[in-house]
Structure 1
Amino acid sequence: MKTNIYLNNEKFIAGITLRDENELEQGNMALHTCINPDEVLENRKKLAVLIGCGLDQFVCANQTHSANIHKVSLADKGSGAESKDTAIPNTDALYTYEPNLLLCSFTADCVPVTFYNELNGLIGVIHSGWQGTVKEISLKTFEHLKQVENCNPIDFHIHIGTALSQGKFEVDEDVYEKFKKLGYADDFMYYNDQTHKYHIDNQQTVKKQCELAGIPSDHITIDSTCTFLNPEGFSYRQDKKAGRHLSFIMRKQVIY
């Protein structure tokens, strides 16, 4: 199971699974887009063993490119882990204070965001495709955490995972206009005179939303690997039947 673990300390573990031609369904982790659900479950079980948790600790959402946020409780343990029918409905951002729950987000070109709060232990994942970005899901999530959970934005650390690069994310004027209306994405777009298409950097736009929420830029890391160009990437734009990466984060149970 090819996995990029980018955080693993005494408090947290976080990472993303990668495409691997030697794995079942090339390492696909998504039940909502697969050939054989049993093979996806085998992949998830492999990941669970790798990071030292059980499949019943996974918490998955039915992602709909919304700006909806869900606070995960112990009652949500196992949601969507073995069946898409039990996933948390209509949600693209999850967060929790609870230890030993693996929060999951599925992407193939969309921007995956994982985050943790060093002070209070809060963790979360965000799925931000371009539709989620123009709905400002990342900005709204961190504003929610400031207002409802009384979090200080300077305590957050954020990782923006592998996604479709600006060079490969070409759109027509209608999508460009939606980003233009945000008022802060101009620096992350350019027009190609030859193809008459606009190119948008979704990762940088998401980073800007995090900064607008008050998160220091040096607390934000970006994996600029392109899902379209990288053989370890799942790309919906390249292959409509593509599998999905699983971005994950878990707060460890600290025993004193």
Structure 2
Amino acid sequence: MKLIPWECFDEIEAYTTCAYDDFHNIMDMSFHNENNQKVLKNRETLAKQLHTDLNHMVATFQQHTTNFKEVTYLDGGKGMYTRDDAFIGYDAMYTRDKHLWLWTFHADCCPVLLYCRDQGIVAAIHSGWKGTVGEIVKKVTQHLIQEEKCLPKHIYAYIGPSINQENFEAKDDIIDLVKQMSFDTSSFYIKKEDGAYLLNSKGLIKQQLLNLGVKEEHITVSPYCTIKDEDLFFSYRRDKSPHRNITLIQRK
């Protein structure tokens, strides 16, 4: 299975899965009421490649919310074999526990990983446009700072493969919500001649982190675009794909 790593520190491990293997087999990772046995086999293949098993991984049933929760080693396996026991309605997780892989599903939405090095906390966040305008990354990071005593100067972030600005066309309904965010967002969208806009969702997420004191040099923004890089990623906007990539992280 092809994996794109986030190379941060030796004490963590993080990757994004690619849409196809070396033989161009579809490597879908999300249950969607068809081919679930194939998805389960793909997940088991990934776990084996990472020298672990599905009982040391956890996934939520994402619903484009700004809800998040702390998970522990005891939650390993939830959402892995079936969607029925996944945590419903949470789009982010964090943990202090080692050897527990946190998953976030995405096609064009943005996966965001956090590593709070001083407290030994990792987080996985799903930030689609609804999560972005709802500032889920801000909410999770602020919680880690205020409640888990993470110092911003020790927080590292990865804004993963997702739709880039040149391909993210948005209408007034989305841009009106962007304008209502808690900071000046005017530099993150460009109006086109036809009245639509091009939206920089990765930039909006990065700004949420900067506003909380995370250092710019500690923020890695993936250059990959899920629309453009069709040989690497599934994309709902491009081809209405029901398939999903995952971005995942663990403490070693």
Q: Same fold (TM over 0.5)?
A: yes
Cα offset for 1:91?
Answer: 0.3
Query: TM-score, normalization: structure 1?
Result: 0.93
Residue 69 of structure 1 and its aligned partner are, at CA, apart by: 1.0
Q: Which residue of 1 aligns with 2:206?
A: 207
1:1-12 matched pairs, under 5 angstroms:
1-7=1-7, 10-12=10-12
Is 1:230 matched up with 2:229?
yes
1:40 maps to: 39
Question: 1:247 maps to what in 2?
Answer: 247
Q: Give 1:183-202 correspondences, 5 Å limit.
A: 183-193=183-193, 195-202=194-201
Which residue of 2 is the match for residue 169 of structure 1? 168
AA aligned opposite 1:4: I
* SS of residue matched to 2:123: strand
Give the partner amino acid of 2:57.
F
Letter in 1 for 2:239: D
Which residue is equivalent to 2:129?
130
- CA shift for structure 1 position 6: 2.0
Give the aligned length: 249
What is the root-mean-square deviation in Å for CA atoms of aligned residues?
1.4
Q: Secondary structure at the match of 2:108?
A: coil
Conservation of the 8 A alpha-carbon contact between 1:227 and 1:233: yes
Contact 1:28 1:34 in 2 (8 A): no
Distance 1:112 1:176 in 2: 21
Instruction: Give per-residue Cα distances to partners, 1:189-241, cap 9 Å, x unaligned.
Output: 00001x32111010110000011121111100011211011121111111223
Structure 1 residue runs of 4 or more that deviate by more than 4 Å after TM superposition = none
Q: 1:68, CA displacement in angstroms?
A: 0.5
1:211/1:52 Cα in 2 relative to 1: closer, same or farther (>3 Å)? same
Q: How far does residue 41 in structure 1 lie from its aligned partner after superposition?
A: 1.1
Amino acid in the other structure paired with 1:223: S
Q: 1:238 aligns to what SS in structure 2?
A: helix
Q: How does 1:106-117 map to 2 (within 5 A)?
A: 106-117=105-116
Alignment TM-score, normalising by the size of structure 2: 0.95
Q: Tell me, yes or no, if the aligned pair for 2:119 and 2:149 is still in contact at 8 Å.
A: no
Shift of 1:7: 2.8
Q: Is the 8 A contact 1:116 1:157 kept in 2?
A: yes
Shift, 1:120, TM fit: 2.0
SS at match of 2:88: coil
* Correspondence 1:63 to 2:47: no
Shift in CA distance, 153/8, structure 1 to aligned 2, threshold 3 Å = closer
The match for 1:51 is 50
Q: Which amino acid aligns with 2:229?
A: N
Residues 2 and 20 in structure 2, CA contact (< 8 A), matched pair in contact too: yes
Q: In structure 1, how many angstroms separate the alpha carbons of the residues matched to 2:139 and 2:9?
A: 28
Structure 1 portions without partners, runs of 5+: none
| Structure 1 CA distance for aligned equivalents of residues 50 and 199 of structure 2 | 34
1:180 Cα shift? 1.2
Q: Name the amino acid aligned to 1:192.
A: K
User: In 1, distance between residues paired with 2:83 and 2:57?
Assistant: 12
C-alpha separation between the residues in 1 aligned to 2:102 and 2:202? 20
Q: Please identify, of 155-164 and 13-22, the stretch whose mean Cα deviation from structure 2 is larger.
A: 13-22
For structure 2, which runs of at least 5 residues remain unmatched after alignment? none
